[in-house]
A and B are shown apart, each in its own frame.
Chain A
């Protein structure tokens, strides 16, 4: 395995309330484990506040985990020294949803791409320019783009620049946090095909965070579903979405719109919204919204159970 994440937890403390603010803790990650192999894309899905973006950032130590273990190519990430961490970060890059806010508006694209090369001491002088041209070409942009500013590009082109910057260091793993969510469908398809091509050609691994199950089904071999800081189901993407076992995955799948007016609405959407991660209910976090909840669900958090064929589910009643 290229990346192995085991039993990660993260609690944020936020000050809330008026007129007297109090510290409340938000458990963003509660014992999350997953792994990604070379050349594999792992989808991470769930709704706002489920912890999917935190999980992605913890891997890069952009957020420090409270506990747990992360191994990248066998090396301990959480215990790595600053020097080792810099070396590891060369091999793990991130692509954000909104490349406009990840790029400096006053920095030319070429300079933005040269920066990581200088930081990591990978190329100097003319070699930098050659490397930038090559990586721009790889993401389908002309070499002349290097002399232009981010605002001169469309949203799709800016995302190509974001991808080019991640690629410049020749990483093994890309953490992609909603990389196509801000794009129109036609451009989204262009970027998805580009990512798929890079994945195949460079044998890149992806942790692919998205709220769009269609995008995940298209891009990821395996998927984990998160709910309030926990992974509640995982498995091969196709099987997971065709026959979800956890009632929450069923809900998510049933609520995802499909462009087919004949598709029957299979799931009744319960009233209410995901409970706040500040005060998640005891037992299974999903129990207040679950049509199948029984006493055990209100008391004991269900462990992840192996269901065979790569499927894992955290539900007392799933079969």
Chain B
């Protein structure tokens, strides 16, 4: 059998409080992330992809967001049962995270060498000197040129791409099993984006890191992930191996998302925009949350369809009454 997953999420439901009432913003999300695997979580603003990451990291703002049900296991540890203080020992140790804008995650008044050393001192009880030595190795590992001289530089002295490398060095300092990368290259130029993604892929190969890659860019998914999960309105609507997904997307939203993307590798063809916009959490319809924009809508969409496995492998799952009816009903 396959190795035990680096990250295992079951039935994750996260709710947000809006004007005094709780609304489910992530509903019943389940997946396993294997060591050395990249799983892409894609969708547009407000689909719940970042909120899923924040829930896994135990970073929901108290009083505004809560884990309503479900469980998260990082390696052997069930973190959904942990107190906040215990979770602090997991974050930055067993699981690391990088964000879109490294400048807002790095402390502007601390030298980067010290910031990379901090988790080593905190989680690994390393001496300052040993941690500094390790910081230098990490900066070289993420290929920051002239690393020795730049240990004592401040974040603002780095370019955007180099800052993201510092963030990556910091996130992998304690050799985590899982790295959550939330739009890690969205703020970068394409050539720098390609470099940073290549760096992440290399680190993954060397260290067997499981990467949860959160992105809105299907091009980034195609080039860097083995599996993809598409979210809409907090629901996983499709989950598939990458090749299968791009060859035959099945959920109407996945199909529409691909058709709405202008492509550099093909002659300009007709773009098909998705009509309307994502409803707010307060006005979400019952049942399938995509129904208001879906051309295939039927009456039954007023109840939420289950995630149904299609094909032979069982690895392609779709949540749609029309394009993936449950097997017992298929004729």
Residue ranges of A at the interface with B (Cβ–Cβ < 8 Å): 47-48, 154, 156, 184-190, 192-193, 211-219, 237-238, 241, 251-263, 265, 269, 271-274
Contacts and interface: CB of A to CB of B under 8 A. Distances in A.
B222 A257 contact: yes
Contacts of A258: 219, 222-223, 263-265
Contacts of A257: 190, 193, 217, 219-220, 222-223
A261 B45 contact: no
Contacts, number: 133
Contact of A271 (B195, B222, B262): B195
Chain B interface size, as a band, is 35 or more
B243 interface: yes
A217 B263 contact: yes
A192 B263 CA distance: 13
A262 B222 CA distance: 8
Contacts of A253: 264
7 contacts: A189-B260, A189-B261, A190-B275, A211-B189, A217-B268, A269-B194, A269-B198
A263 B222 contact: yes
B191 interface: yes
A213 B272 CA distance: 18
A214 to B, nearest CB: 4
Nearest to B215: A257
Counting from the closest, the 3 A-B pairs by CB-CB distance are: A257-B219, A189-B273, A186-B274
A217 B262 contact: yes
A238 B263 CA distance: 11
A252 B190 contact: yes
B260 A260 contact: no
B44 A184 contact: yes
A193 B260 CA distance: 10
A239 to B, nearest CB: 10
Given A156-B277, A260-B222, A213 B143 contact: no
A219 B263 CA distance: 11
A185 B260 contact: yes
Given A189-B273, A259-B258, A217 B218 contact: no
A261 B190 contact: no
Contacts of B45: 184
Main secondary structure of the interface of A (DSSP, over half): helix
Nearest to B143: A271
A200 to B, nearest CB: 13
A251 B218 CA distance: 20
B85 interface: no
Identify the interface centre among B161, B162, B221, B260: most chain A CB within 10 Å of its CB: B260
Contacts of B268: 217-219, 237-238
A47 B264 contact: no
B217 A188 contact: no
B267 interface: yes
B246 interface: yes
Contact of A256 (B143, B219, B261): B219
A261 B246 CA distance: 7
A251 B191 contact: yes
Contacts of B256: 186
Contacts of B219: 214, 256-259
Nearest to B277: A154
B159 interface: yes
Contact of B190 (A154, A241, A256): A256
B264 A213 contact: yes
Contacts of B218: 185, 259
Contacts of B261: 185, 189, 214, 259
Contacts of A237: 268
Contact of A252 (B143, B191, B273, B275): B191
A48 B193 CA distance: 13
B246 A260 contact: yes
B273 A261 contact: no
Interface in B230-267: 242-243, 246, 256-258, 260-265, 267
